Chains A and B, each alone.
Chain A
């Protein structure tokens, strides 16, 4: 089974307001996500690793767009910030080889 190099969302922890408790990471294949897209919540103190920390995050497909929001203790959600480029966790094809006697 193919293995993928992880990517980490590196939040600027110093800029997180005290009332924000979680970040919500949304994703969608083919176009930028909206608030109806699939998401996973991660504690605000953590920088989530993609795809390992996001159960269900699609691998093996191209153009996975990711957006993040902040949610405060009262449930208010921020506007969505978009990661600049789509993800593509696609492994290269299996090498084609033949065994040659040396």
Chain B
């Protein structure tokens, strides 16, 4: 069974603007770009029936190969994400059948590796089919700015 997950977003203390960006591997993204200089964004998503937990990850797509940062799993429907490094990031959420986002094999034994039966596909914040901004279906991503040096 595949769960659907709808990503919505509430980003605190951010400035956003409709924007098109060229991704390193040739495709274009259209949506809202948020510039963050605080080093933290708050991501929120809709709850999914039968899901007890969610996996969250952040992906820097400035260059190929993309760099994936596993943020972790939570039973809540929002999470604060600290700046992994400077650059353009999209965020992805995955619904899990179990609160700890573990999964099981046919015998019920817990598996540590990825287990699609007990987890949904990843929903991407840049995909208007799953993402929205202020209630409007739209992709979004965040540019984590490099902090100004202090001296």
Contacts and interface: CB of A to CB of B under 8 A. Distances in A.
B149 A78 contact: yes
Interface string A50-83: 0000000000000000001111111011111101
Contacts of B60: 74
Interface residues of B, number: 15
Contacts, number: 68
Contacts of A12: 149-151
B86 A81 contact: no
A83 B60 CA distance: 32
B85 A78 contact: no
Interface stretch (B46-54, B73-81, B124-132, B140-148): B140-148
A10 B151 CA distance: 5
Nearest to A76: B86
B16 interface: no
B118 interface: no
A85 to B, nearest CB: 13
A87 to B, nearest CB: 14
Contacts of B87: 72, 74, 76
Nearest to B39: A17
Interface in A10-66: 10-12, 15-20, 23
B63 interface: yes
Interface of B: 37, 60, 62-63, 83, 85-87, 145-151
Interface of A: 9-12, 15-20, 23, 68-74, 76-81, 83
